């Protein structure tokens, strides 16, 4: 996955030579038909995108992602969305079938935790609810091990876990580590959404996860399980560099929410994006389709 991160005064427009990208006082032109990006991530930006530029981006299969000030996905524009009524009907039937749903959910958990270098005994679950409990226990074990690995590269780290004791919501990061994880998972979120639209599935119908809150899309979380191991390893590698954990690389709001500076956010996107294997997610999706 190759991502362009934009923030501050920016504009995207079409000129004779190709796509003109302006950031502040700096401009560059990238020429179609091959633009070197899978996605464009925009945060705290002001300026404009011309209709011509937007048309070219979508025609060249480049997703446009908008992040809020904390690094969470605010909106996502997916290119080349496939619309197949028969496929979506099969997805609905598979999700409503307890055996098929459990089989697909097991495959998601097993594959995702294998990529995290961990193991969950998915065969011990006879229902999706039981599988969710086993997955939650597996996540707790994973973060304990991950914290130990983090300590080996950053002895005085600030990571106590993914549960936020103050807000009870992981997206409101109060530590530097969780802020970096949130930004990185936002990139995985974008890749998952793009894959779902690319194969023609409904993001609202999941197999492991179920809709529990408004605006939550279960299948996105299902697909994110398949790539969390890539992100977790990328973040550990990121923290090996002392400058990436320095307090100067972060800002803290009056509500005690931590976020990266625009410069560090750009560097993080460039570091994590190539670790997210979008073609592997595509093959994962095809495997899931064969189970319908």
**Of 171, 146, 144, 150, which Cα lies nearest the Cα of 238?**
150
Structure tokens at 64: 């446009």
pLDDT score, position 212: 67
pLDDT of residue 73: 84
Q: What does the pLDDT profile of the chain (292 residues) look like in tens digits?
A: 889 999 989 999 999 999 999 988 899 998 877 788 889 999 888 899 999 998 888 888 888 888 887 778 888 887 766 777 899 999 999 999 999 999 999 999 999 999 999 999 999 999 999 999 999 999 999 999 999 999 999 999 999 888 655 544 455 678 999 999 999 999 999 999 999 988 999 999 999 998 765 557 899 999 999 999 999 999 999 999 999 999 999 988 767 788 899 999 999 999 999 999 999 999 999 999 998 8
**What's the confidence (pLDDT) of residue 171?**
52
- What pLDDT is recorded for position 100? 96
Burial class (CB in 10 A: 0-12, 13-18, 19+), 58: middle
Q: What is the pLDDT of residue 71?
A: 79
Q: 77 — phi, psi (to 5°)?
A: -110, 110
Q: In which residue are the tokens 């993080």 written?
A: 268
**What pLDDT score was predicted for residue 204?**
92
3-state secondary structure of 246: coil
CA–CA gap between residue 3 and residue 98 (Å, rounded): 38
Alpha-carbon dihedral 112, 203, 161, 180, rounded to 10 degrees? 100
**Domains assigned to the chain:** 3-77 (3.100.10.20), 85-289 (1.20.120.920)
Distance CA 208, CA 224 (A): 11
> How much is the pLDDT for 83?
75
Collapsed DSSP state (helix, strand, coil) of residue 29: strand
pTM of the model: 0.87
What are the tokens at 273? 């994006």
């Amino acid at each position: 996955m190759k991502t362009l991160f934009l923030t501050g005064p920016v504009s995207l427009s079409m000129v004779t030579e190709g796509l003109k990208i302006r950031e502040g006082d700096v401009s560059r032109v990238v020429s179609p038909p091959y633009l070197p990006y899978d996605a464009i991530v925009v945060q705290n930006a002001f300026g404009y995108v011309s209709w011509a530029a937007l048309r070219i981006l979508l025609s060249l299969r480049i997703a446009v992602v908008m992040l809020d000030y904390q690094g969470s996905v605010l909106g996502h524009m997916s290119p080349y969305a496939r619309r197949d009524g028969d496929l979506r009907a099969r997805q609905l039937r598979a999700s409503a079938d307890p055996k098929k749903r459990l089989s697909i959910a097991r495959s998601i958990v097993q594959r995702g935790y294998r990529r995290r270098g961990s193991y969950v005994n998915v065969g011990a679950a006879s229902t999706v609810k039981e599988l969710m409990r086993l997955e939650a226990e597996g996540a707790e074990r994973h973060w304990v091990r991950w914290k130990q690995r983090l300590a080996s590269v950053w002895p005085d780290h600030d990571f106590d876990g993914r549960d936020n004791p103050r807000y009870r919501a992981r997206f409101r990061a109060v530590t530097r580590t969780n802020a970096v994880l949130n930004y990185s998972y936002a990139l995985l979120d974008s890749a998952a959404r793009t894959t779902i639209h690319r194969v023609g599935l409904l993001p609202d119908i999941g197999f492991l996860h179920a809709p529990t809150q408004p605006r939550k899309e279960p299948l996105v979380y299902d697909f994110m399980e398949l790539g969390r191991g890539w992100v977790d390893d990328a973040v550990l590698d990121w923290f090996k560099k002392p400058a990436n954990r320095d307090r100067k690389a972060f800002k803290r709001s009056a509500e005690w929410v931590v976020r990266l500076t625009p410069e560090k956010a750009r560097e993080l996107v460039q570091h994590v994006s190539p670790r997210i294997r979008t073609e592997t997610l595509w093959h994962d999706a095809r495997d899931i389709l064969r189970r319908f």
